Amino acid sequence: MKKKFHWLVLWLLGSFLVGGCTPSPAPIRYGQDNCAHCQMLVMDAHFGTELVTDKGKIYVFDSIECLAWHSTASRMPPGQVHSRWV
């Protein structure tokens, strides 16, 4: 019985640790972050976007046009993109 309990505890801990590792967006620091495509300072909250890779790297853009241009012009395979946030 103790062995089953130990395995259950290990399984639950593993589930929580792995479940917390999914890539997610970070808050854009307006007035501090630069656009990954055009290098302009991201200033307006109405236009800021993010691209998150499956490894958790976050690219910040100052407009949806820069996000689209970066997505089509970069050599990043589509399978590496986890999500895009507008």
pLDDT at residue 29 greater than cutoff 80? yes
Q: Which pLDDT score is estimated for 23?
A: 85
- If DSSP codes are grouped into helix, strand and coil, which group holds residue 20? coil
Residue 62 covered by a domain? yes
Domain count of the chain? Answer: 1
57 within a domain of the structure (yes/no): yes
Q: Is the pLDDT at 9 greater than 80, yes or no?
A: no
pLDDT at 42: 96
Residue 71 has pLDDT above 80, yes or no: yes
Return the pLDDT at 24. Answer: 86
Provide the mean pLDDT of the chain.
Answer: 84
* Closest-CA residue to 28 (of 67, 1, 2): 67
64 lies in which domain range?
A: 23-85
Strand partners, 49: 61
- pLDDT number for residue 6: 64
Q: Is residue 47 part of a domain?
A: yes
